[in-house]
Amino acid sequence: MAVNPMKKKKNRPNYFRKQEERLGPYFLSKKTPVDIQRDAMMVFRDIARGNIDYNKDLVYFTNAQFLQNINKVAQDEYTTSYINQAATASYLGNFSHILDSAAKTNVEAVHNQNTIKANMFSILSVGLSNISNLASMGLDENTPYIKEAVQSLVNQMYPFRYNI
């Protein structure tokens, strides 16, 4: 049976739906900070791919513990990527004259990957901090500011949807 190429592919269930199915609607109360940090990449992937339901998921973006822990992962990943980017740039600057073509190409590829990751995690960290600041002002998921901040982050992360 042939597959219709015009048929729109359905998004997979996002992180929040999977956790609600597995642990119930109050799943965040059952998660430790380490659990949230371990799951952060799945949340980042959903953000980058636009797999966020603005009618159901905004409540999680007003949870201080959730935001703090996924932002910690974004900041840690940014730091690691930035250090790796700086190290490979220094290596290329100091030793490119003695590297053969293949080795230089490999180091440049690692440098470029870390540059992309540093940019991506910087955007995530700033966006999550903005959302956290709005939530700390007492704004809830029903205010347009939280929705706009999450939509803005999704739009900024879209170019990185295949890098995360």
Band (pLDDT 50/70/90 cuts) for residue 8 is low
**Percent above pLDDT 70 for the chain:** 93
Q: Can you list the alpha helix ranges (DSSP code H) found in 96-143?
A: 101-136
32: alpha, beta or left? (left if phi > 0; alpha if psi -120 to 50): beta
pLDDT in tens, 21-76: 999 989 999 999 999 999 999 999 999 999 999 999 999 999 999 999 999 999 99
Tokens read off for 129: 């901090």
Q: What percent of the chain has pLDDT over 90?
A: 86
Query: Closest by alpha carbon to 158, among 15, 6, 44?
Result: 44
Quote the CA–CA distance of 13 and 18 in Å, as a whole number. Answer: 6
Tokens 């600057």 belong to residue: 93
